[in-house]
Amino acid sequence: MTPSFLSISAVRKTFGAFVAVHDVTIDVPKGEFLTFLGPSGSGKSTTLYAIAGFQDPSSGDVLLEGKSLLSVPSHKRNIGMVFQRYTLFPHLSVAENVAFPLRVRRRPDGEVRRKVADMLALVRLENFADRQPGALSGGQQQRVALARALAYDPPILLMDEPLSALDKKLRQDIQTEIRRIHRETGVTILYVTHDQEEALHLSDRIALFREGRIEQIGTGEDLYLRPASEFVAGFIGNSNFLPAEHLETAAGAATVRLADGSIVSGLKTAKPFGKGQKVRLMVRPEALSLTPGPASAALAVEIVDTAFFGDRRRVVARTAGGDEIDVRPTSDAVEPVGAAATGQRIYFDPASAFLFPV
């Protein structure tokens, strides 16, 4: 078997008795944009630092094109990195910042000048070459940091929550820039974030971390449409969870009884459940509707609140069992419903719902 481009092999990192990363294994093909997503403290940054060489793993290995990186000191790994905080060298101009990695590599002046111009053009900051970092906005600083990290054509680019200090609008603009730069350069990117929207927007694949382990790895669609666990379903996108009791499964379609006694059948399930086992039923807010569809299950609810969000409405409903349900119908799909409207029903296609063990 040919070794994969970048191979993170059973990497484990402990701090005293605390295990920050549990034997994480990922193979990354060349040119992939892979995101490490997860809540803080889930081990995603620690794994990234192990690749950068800032933290040696307690065990396991990191292989680039079949060769171990672990014995190579950080400054010789030839890896690009953009940090969470602004790390431009404060006493050097934008151009000198981008030139720095080339200067320490003792590249000839002409090549340095050419490459700096190329890189600043790539991040669309050609006119800022002579500025000092202090005179740039946060977004511009991170773009210069990106240009600096790519100036020496590293095979891998690591990005550690590079946009977390920026405001939302700017974040989306730079995400688009990062996608373009990934397309244009073809560099392999490992990106750390706790923002699921950012992960969905940017990545070819997402590795969702939880307590030092990878909970699920796959495309954004895999994680959103086929979550492997309740944690994944809860972390990616919005989800409603309803307690239920499993009655039976026949031909991959399960039947459950909800807390208010209603029966829902035709639910997809990958895992076998026992009769009477407590489970959780998950439905996405946008899969719920206030009008019945062709193959709908129905829930008796009262409407607690409705709000208008432009393209969608948000309706908060409460079941007889006291569980709040978030419904996101498109704005034109419903007439606004008054608050405290009792005796309403909401509908969903059982095929769009999931069952998870408690």
Partner 1 sequence: MLLDYDRLGWLRVALVGFTAAVAAFLLLPVVFIVLLSFGSSRWLAFPPPGWTLKWYQQLLADPTWIDAALTSAKIAAMAAISAVIIGLFASFSLVRGEFRGRQLLRGLLLTPMVLPVVVFAIAVYAFFLRIGLAGTTIGFVIAHTILALPFAIIPITAALEGFDKSIEDAAIVCGASPLQAKLRITLPSIRIGIFSAAIFAFLASWDEVVVAIFMASPTLQTLPVKIWGSLRADLSPVVAAASSLLVGLTLCLMIVTALLRRKLSR
- Which pair of structure tokens corresponds to residue 4? 């994969």
Q: Please say whether the dihedral angle defined by the alpha carbons of residues 43, 44, 48 and 54, taken in this order, is positive or negative.
A: negative
Selected from 152, 231, 241, 347, the binder of partner 1 by CB under 8 A is: 152
Q: Is 318 exposed, middle or buried (0-12, 13-18, 19+ CB in 10 A)?
A: middle
Q: Which CB contacts under 8 angstroms, 24+ apart, belong to 314-322? A: 314/285, 315/290, 317/344, 317/346, 319/242, 319/258, 319/259, 319/260, 320/259, 320/260, 321/242, 321/243, 321/258, 321/259, 321/260
Residues 102-121 that bind partner 1 (CB under 8 A): 104-105
Closest CA to 299 of 328, 248, 258: 258
Is 15 among the residues that bind partner 1 (CB under 8 A)? no
Angle CA 182–185–190, to nearest 5: 45
**Closest CB to partner 1 among residues 53, 139:** 53
Angle CA 66–42–25, to nearest 5: 20
**Which stretch, 75-83, 179-187, 225-233, 303-311, contacts partner 1 (CB under 8 A)?**
75-83
In single-letter form, the type of residue at position 12 comes to R
Selected from 43, 60, 101, 285, the binder of partner 1 by CB under 8 A is: 101
Selected from 74, 176, 238, 330, the binder of partner 1 by CB under 8 A is: 74
**Closest CB to partner 1 among residues 88, 206:** 88
Is 183 among the residues that bind partner 1 (CB under 8 A)? no
Q: Residue 143, Cβ neighbours under 10 Å: how many?
A: 25
What dihedral angle (degrees, nearest 10) is formed by the CA atoms of 73, 76, 82, 88?
Answer: 100
Is 55 among the residues that bind partner 1 (CB under 8 A)? no
Is 33 among the residues that bind partner 1 (CB under 8 A)? no
Q: By rule CB under 8 A, what count of residues binds partner 1? A: 28
Selected from 148, 171, 246, 313, the binder of partner 1 by CB under 8 A is: 148
Is 333 among the residues that bind partner 1 (CB under 8 A)? no
Q: How far is the CB of 91 from partner 1 (least distance, A)?
A: 5
Is 80 among the residues that bind partner 1 (CB under 8 A)? yes
**Closest CB to partner 1 among residues 75, 180:** 75
**Closest CB to partner 1 among residues 43, 101:** 101
Q: How far is the CB of 104 from partner 1 (least distance, A)?
A: 5
Q: Which CB contacts under 8 angstroms, 24+ apart, belong to 249-256? A: 249/273, 254/355, 256/281, 256/355
Residue 41, C-beta contacts closer than 8 angstroms, at least 6 positions apart:
none
Selected from 83, 224, 241, 347, the binder of partner 1 by CB under 8 A is: 83
Selected from 3, 66, 90, 274, the binder of partner 1 by CB under 8 A is: 90
Distance CA 227, CA 241 (A): 13
Selected from 34, 145, 283, 288, the binder of partner 1 by CB under 8 A is: 145
Is 274 among the residues that bind partner 1 (CB under 8 A)? no
Selected from 64, 69, 88, 327, the binder of partner 1 by CB under 8 A is: 88
Does residue 51 contact residue 43 with C-beta atoms inside 8 Å? no
Which residues are at the interface with partner 1 (CB under 8 A)?
52, 54, 73-81, 83-91, 100-101, 104-105, 145, 148-149, 152
